[in-house]
Structure 1
């Protein structure tokens, strides 16, 4: 399932408090999607990395209660205590945890309680983990535990990632490069011994590195440490070949600007335009943009218009919209 479909499915199951297990390769944003759902719903979120826990960490430690003359389990303080009536308990890396930790989690998932602790009624349980084929150290999940979940598998979608990256203000050269080379978004090879490889998470690191404006001598080592040496060299070469870009603000002011001849530059410019234009952009600005897009390569002109429409930009209110449709409308089908 693609990320947006996964998000919608998880949202439904969280609402009904149906336990689910989200499978997927490392670095593709599984935990980010679950956290985002909690934020959008305005509910609590607790992320437990089960690989860091011992079985007693979940169950608690027994102590003697002098009043009742019984051994009582002291619940762990890090589990939801009911101060937030609704939330998501996210059990990350469940199948990477040791079998005894999985057994403790099994009771929590099955009975919504463990020892003296009981999960608050309004809390849903979501677990996640990598597949056995992803070169991680995983333990096979017992069938009774697996049967307690709805299982969803998440995959990469470069188009959905591009929309997300634009909305989150990624460096246009990163967005442009992935637009030109969608396969570079995720280049994980379970058989490779390389420590660094490209994933949506590592491209987010690339964006942060570029925004930190490091010295030129540091740029290559930093990028290579994020996405691997070969891809880092290709990205920097691609970025340099984009060359000089037209002044976007001048375009939006209606001033004449050159049309890039390089495909690389067109990808970067497209990313800049989509990031800059919002639904509240004035009509005159949209008219100036459409005037420029009428001169642009048809493929890129149509791509920009489609992405702006997906953002809710009403290009139809521009006076030269019909002119653009007459020129490129046949490519919209």
Structure 2
């Protein structure tokens, strides 16, 4: 299912508070962005137990129950996890990954809040969740009858929401600081091959592993952990960032002239990281119009041209990375600055030689 409109994690509780209490909800979203934890937090906020059923681990009888003889008749006895007397939150995780037979077993539970003779207690809420087929995750088509029984909400990743949560949840400070600088690295689209990719859950797992190692975490071990939880590009960038932290070597020292670009072959990942950070700094610090540039903006532009010349001497690829266009071929840096770069760089390079 394609998303027309989406909500952020911070917006979701308010939506659920008004919607899930009156109608079943299905929450769509990419793997690892926090759907399950958000549902559990919502249940906690209402003072309800959260009973989670994984669609991929169920058979129809796990919902319908097994028949038992009562008097001279038989009736189905729903499982103990569901048949509760107090209201609760029934969370049907990976619902659209379950078999068609299991999905059919959910029909009456979702629409009528009933299984056989058992009815969910008043005040209970029913929430389903699942990944999209476009995420390369296990997802089966849902019948129109099931789709039409729920209100569908699409969740998207929101960096500010995650960073606010991370600040009070013990996420490793290096991870928080890195994602403040590179918010685009919080999440990456699932690849078509079997390899790690970046998600809020992946960063959380990396944080837990880093805390476990503590001060004994060396660079090689960090690399193993990062490349085991994140996309290759993001893992390489984070590893380079940690080097800057450990060696007090960051972009500010380069901008101030207190240090030069790293030149050693063993520092190439650090050079790439600083180049990407330099690009982000220019995007934020340079105005779109030169006439409206502040003194600080003009000084940054002047210093940037010198640094680009020095960077090109070490790695033309890294220098091109700084001024590259976006994925659609549109300029990212202001046009006036790019014009000055193309005009002044040969002159600056000649002056340095």
TM-score clears 0.5: yes
Question: Partner of 1:94 in structure 2?
Answer: 95
Deviation digits for residues 222-250 of structure 1 (CA, Å, limit 9, x no counterpart): 221111444222211111113456xxxxx
8 Å Cα contact 1:60/1:115 also seen in 2:
no
Q: Quick check: 1:153 aligned with 2:158?
A: no
TM norm structure 2: 0.65
- Determine helix, strand or coil for the equivalent of 1:152: strand
- Determine helix, strand or coil for the equivalent of 1:226: coil
Question: Stretches of 4+ moved more than 2 A in 1?
Answer: 214-219, 228-231, 242-245, 260-265
Deviation digits for residues 239-293 of structure 1 (CA, Å, limit 9, x no counterpart): 1113456xxxxxxxxxxxxxx647999xxxxxxxxxxxxxxxxxxxxxxxxxxxx
- Determine helix, strand or coil for the equivalent of 1:79: coil
Question: Partner of 1:36 in structure 2?
Answer: 41
Question: Partner of 2:324 in structure 1?
Answer: none
Deviation at 1:40, TM superposition (A): 2.1
Deviation at 1:19, TM superposition (A): 0.7
Alignment match of 2:77 (pick from 63, 74, 77): 74
Q: Distance in 2 between matches of 1:118 and 1:205?
A: 39
Q: Distance in 2 between matches of 1:45 and 1:136?
A: 24
Alignment match of 2:52 (pick from 16, 41, 47): 47
Which is worse superposed, 115-124 or 200-209? 115-124
Q: How many residues of Structure 1 are paired with residues of Structure 2 in the alignment?
A: 249
Taking the TM superposition and a 5 Å limit, the aligned residue runs for 1:197-212 are 197-212=197-212
Question: Partner of 1:239 in structure 2?
Answer: 242
Alignment match of 1:12 (pick from 8, 15, 18): 18
- Determine helix, strand or coil for the equivalent of 2:103: helix
8 Å Cα contact 2:52/2:93 also seen in 1:
yes
Question: Partner of 1:143 in structure 2?
Answer: 144
Q: Distance in 2 between matches of 1:238 and 1:74?
A: 57
- Distance of aligned partners of 1:80 and 1:163 in 2 relative to their CA distance in 1, 3 Å threshold: farther
What are structure 1's unaligned runs of at least 5 residues?
246-259, 266-296, 299-333
8 Å Cα contact 1:17/1:123 also seen in 2:
no
Q: Quick check: 1:223 aligned with 2:229?
A: no
Deviation at 1:215, TM superposition (A): 4.3
Q: Distance in 1 between matches of 2:197 and 2:138?
A: 18
Q: Distance in 2 between matches of 1:203 and 1:34?
A: 20
8 Å Cα contact 1:242/1:262 also seen in 2:
no
- Determine helix, strand or coil for the equivalent of 1:125: strand
- Determine helix, strand or coil for the equivalent of 2:53: strand
Deviation at 1:87, TM superposition (A): 2.2
Question: Partner of 1:316 in structure 2?
Answer: none
- Determine helix, strand or coil for the equivalent of 2:170: coil
- Determine helix, strand or coil for the equivalent of 1:42: coil
Q: Distance in 2 between matches of 1:182 and 1:194?
A: 24
Question: Partner of 2:67 in structure 1?
Answer: 62
Question: Partner of 1:288 in structure 2?
Answer: none
- Determine helix, strand or coil for the equivalent of 2:74: strand
- Determine helix, strand or coil for the equivalent of 2:56: helix
TM norm structure 1: 0.69
Deviation at 1:117, TM superposition (A): 2.4
Q: Distance in 2 between matches of 1:40 and 1:201?
A: 22
- Determine helix, strand or coil for the equivalent of 1:227: coil
Q: Distance in 2 between matches of 1:77 and 1:189?
A: 37
